[in-house]
Amino acid sequence: MIEGLNKIFESRVRLGIMSVLMVNDEIDFNSLKELLNVTDGNLASHIAGLEKNEYIKVIKEFVGKKPKTSFAATAVGKKAFQDHLTALENLLNQHN
Amino acid sequence: MENSKQHLEALSGIKDLMEKSTKFISLSGLSGVIAGITALVGAFLADLRIDYYLNNTFTKTRLEMYLSENLMEELALELFVIAISILVISITFGILLTMRESKKNGQHIWGKNSKLLLLNLIVPLAAGGIFCLILMYHGLFYLLAPATLLFYGLALFNCGKYTLGEIKYLGVLEIILGLLSAVFIGKGLLFWAIGFGVLHIIYGALMHFKYNNKPQNA
């Protein structure tokens, strides 16, 4: 961790996932894929990374007979994202 | 310095995603322009018809005393047909252009965000529509222009959270026009033409040039 920046959010995709989850209670896999414009595999691996750190939780449910996977940010994840944003803003203020 | 540019990009990317994932940003500016032009043509036609009926009665003064009941009803019917035509043309073009726009932005036209937008638009509009019918039932035709402008403005203001935030300003302007037209009774058609015609054209054109020339980041 350099200057309060969170390494986990160095990836554009992981940062994107958290951005979306900060303002949406939950979002399903396909909507997230379209928003971030990434492939299935790419998204899945970044989600696994965030889940491992307990920044997001996975919600599995059935819509009719189809399984649907959604995600939501955990309190830990929201806190981490906030801290990362604050660090980003501080860095920018220092430079200017 | 290189870092600081990266951080700025990260921040603006975050903001874009937050907006795109919670708002329906694909309302077409062009459809606003078309709605405005249609409204102006409609207002012009309505003005012609009103003039025609006024000149074909015995005298121009004290309209309500000299106009026979039948003529009033005929005029009301014609104005009603004009109003409905404007509505149908505007909504048709609005839907078609918005479909095109949402395809370009990769946003579903019938997703969570557009549903939220529509719901927040429809509740104040439906209340206003029913209120206007009640006004007509009581014969208070001179309050129709203020009421339509006011409720429309409130509906737009309410939508600021669910689409491009600029729509709030259009809402405020419509509300002001609605209040003014309630003061200057008799100039209803003029205020109506400004509110639904001129303002739509200006707002639609501004939004078109602001957002259409700039490709949305994927």
**Element containing residue B70 per DSSP (H, E):** helix B69-105
Chain B positions touching A96 (Cβ under 8 A) are: 4
The C-alpha angle B31, B153, B189, rounded to 5 degrees, equals 80
Nearest CA in chain B to A9: B10
Q: In this structure, what token pair is assigned to residue B111?
A: 């997703």
pLDDT by residue for chain B (218 residues), tens only, comes to 567 788 888 888 898 889 888 888 888 899 999 999 999 999 999 999 988 877 765 555 555 555 566 777 788 889 889 999 999 999 999 999 999 988 887 777 887 888 999 999 999 999 999 999 999 889 888 999 999 999 999 999 999 889 988 999 999 999 999 999 999 998 999 999 999 999 999 999 999 988 876 544 43
**Element containing residue A72 per DSSP (H, E):** strand A66-73
Q: In the Cβ-directed half-sphere of B33, how many Cα atoms lie within 13 Å? A: 11
Question: Does ipTM come in above 0.90?
Answer: no
pTM confidence score:
0.78
What's the CA gap between A36 and A57, in Å, rounded? 19
Contact B21 A23 (CB under 8 A): yes
Helices (H), ranges, B27-68: 29-55, 63-66
DSSP notation for A35-46 = HHT--HHHHHHH
Contact B17 A20 (CB under 8 A): yes
- Which residues 100-139 of chain B have a CB within 8 Å of chain A? 106, 111
Asked if A24 has any chain B CB less than 8 Å from its own CB, the reply is: yes
C-alpha to C-alpha distances, B92 to B31, B88, B117, nearest whole angstrom: 9, 6, 18
